[in-house]
Amino acid sequence: MKRIILSLCVGLAAFSPCATAQGQWSNSFTADDARNARERGEILPLKNILRPIESRYGGEMRRFVGLFDRNGQKVYVIDWTTRQGELVQFTINAHNGQIISVS
């Protein structure tokens, strides 16, 4: 019985939103990589990315998923809770702050 429950938990974890979201992109950046890219002017600071989202959608960042390379483009992926309590995930161009997708 314990083996069945453990197998189910492992299987569910593999298909969780976090696992599938991170699987869509390659080359997750370390904190040092992100800082260096920001200092070189390749990406905007995260706080500059969050301000327009907060003013447009209200609410707050629930979780910073990461900075990823998506087909040669650096993107921020952010989980956000709107003022209505809805959980959404933003994919944002890290260079210019443009929202690429909301899901």
Task: Express each pLDDT in 70-92 by its tens digit.
Answer: 888 999 999 999 999 999 999 99
DSSP state of 42: S
Q: Cβ contacts of residue 36 below 8 Å, gap of 6+? A: none
Residue 12 has pLDDT above 70, yes or no: no
Residue 6 has pLDDT above 50, yes or no: no
DSSP state of 73: E
User: What are the structural domains of the chain?
Assistant: 31-102 (3.10.450)
Q: The whole model's pTM is what?
A: 0.72
23 burial level (CB within 10 Å; 0-12, 13-18, 19+): exposed
Task: Express each pLDDT in 14-71 by its tens digit.
Answer: 444 444 444 455 568 888 998 999 999 999 999 999 999 999 999 999 999 999 998 8
